[in-house]
Structure 1
Amino acid sequence: MTNLPLWLDGLLAALVVIGAAFALIGSWGLAKLSDFLKRLHGPTKATTLGVGCVLIASSMWFSVAQGTASLHELLIALFLFMTAPVSAHLLIKAALKLDPSLRPPAPPSGPVDPRV
């Protein structure tokens, strides 16, 4: 077991707790929100941020423990941050194709009154 400085130990603990809280909030949103589009928002935003915080803490801990930079977590975060928005976009496109009533109404096309 590696002895870490107290400030680093506190920082890593805070990152893990914050990451777990965001992941819990995102999971709760997936389970409790009312429709598909709202349910998709929780995991793509909050859970991604939560996993990012845990990965930063893991990278910092392994970098200090091994004495060299830990790049495994960076690759995981890169993969997560690239795939989560793309998969959410594809899911929304598929949902709109199956149920066009999910599409929001078009904005008004007339002249816009600047006083409003």
Structure 2
Amino acid sequence: MTLIEYVSLPFLLIGAFFFLAGTLGLLRFPDVYTRLHALTKADNIGLGFIIFGLSLQADSFVVVGKLILIWLLVLLSGSSVAHLVAKSALEKGIRLWKS
């Protein structure tokens, strides 16, 4: 392995950890709203770490630009879909979880 691969490996592992945490939140949290929050936050942060780790290994700035564009599109679509799901849940009368 090269030095760049050693430097980028922690970012890729941290990103994978955030994806795992988001998946666990999706499976474990009690209602749709907390599940959406866990999934969108953790996945967006996890993807950011993975994009950064991959950007360190990229051959050109064009590839880095494409990776950043992918991340921005996922941020935009993830938040939009989470909003639509939460709005639909509210309209159907799904209540917030209370301890």
Same fold (TM over 0.5): yes
1:28 pairs with one of 11, 24, 27: 24
- The residue correspondences of 1:16-95 to structure 2 (distance < 5 A) are 16-62=12-58, 66=59, 68-69=60-61, 70=63, 71-95=65-89
Matches of 1:18 and 1:100 in 2, distance apart? 34
Stretches of 4+ aligned residues off by more than 6 angstroms: none
Q: TM-score, normalised by structure 1?
A: 0.74
- 2:7 aligned with 1:11: yes
Query: Which protein, 1 or 2, shows the higher relative CO under an 8 Å CA cutoff with sep ≥ 6?
Result: 2
Which stretches in structure 1 are left out of the alignment for 5+ residues? Answer: 105-116
- Alignment partner of 1:13: what SS? helix
Q: Calculate the aligned-residue CA RMSD, in Å.
A: 2.0
Q: Which has the larger radius of gyration?
A: 1
Q: TM-score, normalising length from structure 2?
A: 0.85
Q: Normalized per residue, which structure has more helix?
A: 2
1:100 Cα deviation (Å)?
Answer: 5.9
Listed as ranges, the gaps of 5+ residues in structure 2 are none
Residue 42 (structure 1) shift: 1.3
Residue 52 (structure 1) shift: 1.4
Q: How many residues align?
A: 96
Q: Give the partner amino acid of 1:92.
A: A
